[in-house]
Structure 1
Amino acid sequence: MSMFNNTHPEFMRIGITIENVDTRYKPLMRMGISIDEMIYLARRLYPLIRDGKKILDLACGNGLITVILSRLMSDAEFHAVDDWKKVSRDDLIRNIEIDKARIMLGEFKDQFTLSYQDTYFDSVYSVMFLSNIGKDGRVKISDEVYRVLKEKGKFVVIDTLVFRGKIKKDLEHKFKLDWYGEENGFSFFVWSK
């Protein structure tokens, strides 16, 4: 028996097991963050969305953040979308099965249109996506998020500090900013409908 197990120490701290995370979840250049940072961001997201029953990960990348959250929030219904151009949907499906996560995968109808009914989600979150889609994309996706969020629903945005001003300017026309913080090079926005 090896003196090292194959699960990340942070998972043991929060009471879940996800083995071989470093080999199964490939970092995504669009996100530009490490596995350790994804675990950290999932832990930071948890208190911000834990009251939600229907939750959407907007542009999920490799899906690790949502896998962690779905394991922590066993009574929530998780959905994750991406365009699946730089991430293997099949790999994520396999990882979801291995990690016994409950996540339904979707995709964008077109570049910024979500295939969900109006007022479906309690919470939507986005990690390192809005800085990659430009002003027009941020305005279009904010319209879609507004459409799929329930009244008083939350839109949590985590992105780089460099884009905090642009993200704020492009989303404040639709949402009310409930909280903003900066930590470890990330900006955290909690918007409400």
Structure 2
Amino acid sequence: MKNSYDDRVIRYETVTNFSDDMFDELVRLINPRDGQAILDCGAGYAPVTQAIISRHPSLDVDYCILEYSEIQLQRARKEVTQLLQLLGETKCVAYQQNSAAAMEYDDNSFDTVVTKMVLHELPAEDQVKMISEIYRILKPGGKFILWQTILDDSTVEFYRNMFRKKDSLAGYESLVENRNFITQDAFYFLLSEARFHEYELARSFTYNFNSKYRLYSELQGDWNKLRMLNEYLVSLVIDEGAGFSEKTKFTFEDDNVSLFFKQGVYLAKKPLTNE
């Protein structure tokens, strides 16, 4: 099956309303330092690496960018190179095309591993492998920082169905097949199983899903597909009941379904000594 991210060439920050303030908070949490090695895991076109470089252009950091999609990795190489040229900086940046569930880095290689909206892209068995791999490649005392949607038992199934419908209408077959959104409790369980015992939700903010934003970015400008998506989402909200509608601040107007969810940046640390 073709990797749908080879076709999904969009600017996610625009579609998902990720603001500069959110990236400011992320970089503050990463807290990069001279001499560190930082892995941007499942990087896409590397907005995380670009955020670090743009905010700390003079730092001497070894950047590694890992991405499974060849097209997205090409975007990352181009955009990071352009940013460095604009800043007049030279950095050590390594690029690798590979799955986050089967990384080829040595044990204890990185001070920090960052993943932004990556875990849910993998099927359940690969999520387990990804977290274990990140633990393996982190140095003792190293940080794992993960940005993802905060879901619980009352929202997770709705969220899965919402994106499965959108991806199906967009023709993203591998996303329909592989994506696996999980609850916060399930994520904490994965961390514990991988021997991360020190972890926390370090930052949280609001994520606003707008169906109309997907019209030209993913639905090929097909208004019929947007109507189908909206009708499906409205029916899902009705099935969930008034409490869900209020919790997500659901509205439907001007051909747009708007829903609010929570997102967060989690911080986990590898122990300084083996247990």
TM-score when scaled to structure 1?
A: 0.74
Alignment of 1:115-154 (within 5 A): 115-154=104-143
Which residue, 168, 191, 197 being the options, matches 1:171?
Answer: 191
Once superposed, what is the RMSD of the aligned Cα atoms? 2.4
Map Cα deviations across residues 100-136 of structure 1 (whole Å, 9 max, x no partner): 073321122x561112111010010111111221331
Partner of 2:264: 187
The alignment partner of 2:193 has SS state of coil
Partner of 2:39: 56
Alignment CA distance shift 1:117-1:88 (3 Å): same
Partner of 1:156: 145
| Higher RCO (CA < 8 A, seq sep 6+) | 2
The alignment partner of 1:113 has SS state of coil
The alignment partner of 1:92 has SS state of helix
Larger radius of gyration: 2
Aligned residues: 164
- Structure 1 residues without counterparts, runs of 5 or longer: 1-24
Runs (4+) of structure 1 exceeding 4 A deviation are none
Q: Is the 8 A contact 2:37 2:109 kept in 1?
A: yes
Which deviates further from its counterpart, 36-45 or 171-180?
Answer: 36-45
- Structure 2 residues without counterparts, runs of 5 or longer: 1-8, 152-182, 207-261, 271-275
Which residue, 54, 63, 68 being the options, matches 1:83?
Answer: 68
CA distance in 2, matches of 1:186, 1:111: 21
Map Cα deviations across residues 53-90 of structure 1 (whole Å, 9 max, x no partner): 111111001212211212323222111111015x4322
% identical aligned pairs: 18
Alignment CA distance shift 1:84-1:152 (3 Å): same
CA distance in 2, matches of 1:66, 1:137: 24
TM-score when scaled to structure 2?
A: 0.54
- Cα offset for 1:177? 3.0
The alignment partner of 2:136 has SS state of helix
Q: Is the 8 A contact 1:58 1:81 kept in 2?
A: yes
